[in-house]
Amino acid sequence: MPDTKTKPAAPKPTAKKVEKAAPAPKVIWYESREREPSSFDCMGIKPIRNYSNGRLEWEVPSEMGDRFARNHFVSMGRIVRKD
């Protein structure tokens, strides 16, 4: 008569390495496509002048990134995302 009290050994759990996605940046940088003679705010964000190339740069919080990308200056190409 077979022994019914013993159970087969359960397979050992294997440790799976889960790769975490890179954290989203806290800020997104945009810059003017061309040199700008004077600075202008975009969505209430004041730009920073890059004196080496004469362009304006905006430091946009990541929470405002989608909204900033839909701005008229961005959609028309006057302001582009800096990668």
Is this model's pTM higher than 0.85 or not? Answer: no
Cα–Cα distance between 11 and 67 in angstroms, integer? 51
What integer is the mean pLDDT of 59-66? 95
DSSP letters for 14-43 = PPPPPPPPPPPPSEEEEEESS--SS---BT
- Per-residue confidence (pLDDT) for residue 12, from 0 to 100: 74
What integer is the mean pLDDT of 43-61? 96
Q: Which tens digits make up the pLDDT trace of 30-39?
A: 999 999 999 9
Domain residue extents for the chain: 27-81
Q: Which tens digits make up the pLDDT trace of 5-42?
A: 677 777 777 767 777 877 777 999 999 999 999 999 99
List CB contacts of 67: < 8 A, sequence separation 6 or more. Answer: 43
CB 32 within 8 A of CB 79: yes
